Amino acid sequence: MESLVDILNSDEVLRRHGRYYSTRLSIISDEDEYHFDISDGEVSPVASVDPDFGFSLCGSKAVWIKFCQEIPPPEHHELGALIASEHLEVKGDMYALQSNFMYVRRLLELWRNDQRSRE
């Protein structure tokens, strides 16, 4: 998790998108959970979801595996595709996601790259 956070904090594009963005973001599957605190774009690992702040991206393990494939199948290749096709449920503050969609998309890209590098 620490190396992933380092990757996120050293990504110039993510830092630029997140300059004024503060929220709590979680990526959740059946087996794993990743929780991030974002404060003006600075990412820190946290232990759990904050039910009153931020949002979670919740999908089954099978969905996240498809998302992480080198060429993901249709409906699984992008954040928006997962949400629109209802493979992913967004729980929590929808505005925090919609108002910074490019940031979240980028973060998820970097998370996916990290997942792929571990296979």
Partner 1 sequence: MKAVLDDVTGQYVSLPIGEESVRVYFEQAGQGTPLLCLHTAGADGRQFREIIRDESITANFQVIVPDMPWHGKSSPPEGWQEKEYLLTTENYLKFIIAFMAALELEQPLVMGCSIGGRVVLHLALRYEEKIGGIIGLQSGLDAGADEYHPETFSHFHRHDVHQGYSAAGWMAALIAPQSPDNHRWETLWHYASGGPGVFRGDIHYYSYDGDLRNQSLNIDTRKCPVYLLSGEYDWSAPAAGAEEIAQRIPGAYFKKMIGMGHFPMSENPEEFLKYLQPVLKDYLERK
Question: Rule CB under 8 A: which residues touch partner 1?
Answer: 17, 71-72, 74-75, 77-81, 83-85, 98-102, 104-105
CA dihedral over 63, 75, 35, 49, signed as positive or negative: negative
**C-beta separation of 11 from 106 below 8 A:** yes
What is the distance between the alpha carbons of residues 61 and 65, in angstroms, rounded to a whole number? Answer: 6
Nearer to partner 1, 3 or 95 (CB): 95
Nearer to partner 1, 23 or 100 (CB): 100
**C-beta separation of 105 from 79 below 8 A:** yes
Q: Which helix (H) or strand (E) holds 96?
A: helix 94-98
Nearer to partner 1, 35 or 66 (CB): 66
For residue 86, the minimal CB distance to partner 1 (Å) is 10
For residue 20, the minimal CB distance to partner 1 (Å) is 11
Nearer to partner 1, 1 or 102 (CB): 102
What is the distance between the alpha carbons of residues 47 and 79, in angstroms, rounded to a whole number? Answer: 23
